[in-house]
């Protein structure tokens, strides 16, 4: 069902401060920094060898990420797996009785994404990603 681990998403309070840590102190390479206005967040993708992380910071107090930060604080937020066909995967998960946050895919930074409810996966939220052809 899942073809490969794409990235681990980490919620942070402030993107610039987090970049100082991950890029400047820990030596990750910044791949891209992007605003996602419809989710009121800003994200940065960084790489170390074969592993990619996504730092996510709210740009507005109304954002769901801001509420998450308030409740849970900074830290790991989701694990993203690449899938070949997101509709097929969502249908299979629904058939298995796995609780989903998104029943239909939404637009992500690198393709179509959908989230599996953390209650269904022992507390670790899963992001499914069907990459756009030009991001493969």
The minimum distance between CB 25 and Zn ion, in angstroms, equals: 22
- Residue (of 82, 13, 78, 83) closest to 42 by Cα position: 13
The minimum distance between CB 40 and Zn ion, in angstroms, equals: 15
Distances (CA, A) of 135 to 18, 33, 80, 116: 25, 15, 15, 22
Give yes or no for residue 111 binding Zn ion (CB under 5 A). no
Binds Zn ion (CB under 5 A): choice among 54, 65, 81, 82: 54
Q: For residues 76 and 99, which CB has a smaller minimum distance to Zn ion in the complex?
A: 76
The minimum distance between CB 7 and Zn ion, in angstroms, equals: 6
Distances (CA, A) of 55 to 14, 83, 113, 128, 131: 9, 21, 17, 17, 19
> Among 20-28, 51-59, 63-71, 98-106, which window interacts with Zn ion (CB under 5 A)?
51-59
Binds Zn ion (CB under 5 A): choice among 44, 69, 80, 93: 80
Give yes or no for residue 58 binding Zn ion (CB under 5 A). no
The minimum distance between CB 80 and Zn ion, in angstroms, equals: 4
DSSP H/E element including 94: helix 86-95
Q: For residues 65 and 93, which CB has a smaller minimum distance to Zn ion in the complex?
A: 65
DSSP H/E element including 127: strand 125-131
Give yes or no for residue 9 binding Zn ion (CB under 5 A). yes
Distances (CA, A) of 58 to 13, 23, 97, 102, 111: 7, 19, 32, 20, 21
Q: For binding to Zn ion (CB under 5 A), which residues are involved?
A: 9, 54, 80, 127
């Amino acid at each position: 069902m899942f073809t490969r681990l794409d990235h681990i998403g980490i919620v942070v309070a402030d993107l610039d401060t987090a970049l100082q840590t991950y890029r400047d102190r820990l030596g990750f390479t910044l791949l891209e920094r992007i605003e996602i206005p419809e989710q009121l967040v800003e994200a940065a993708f960084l790489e170390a060898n074969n592993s990619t992380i996504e730092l996510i910071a709210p740009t507005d107090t109304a954002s769901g990420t801001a509420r998450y930060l308030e409740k849970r604080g900074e830290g790991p937020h989701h694990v993203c797996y690449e899938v070949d066909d997101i509709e097929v995967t969502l249908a299979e998960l629904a058939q298995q009785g796995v609780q989903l946050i998104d029943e239909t895919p939404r637009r992500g930074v690198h393709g179509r994404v959908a989230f599996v409810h953390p209650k269904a996966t022992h507390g670790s939220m899963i992001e499914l990603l069907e990459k756009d052809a030009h991001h493969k």
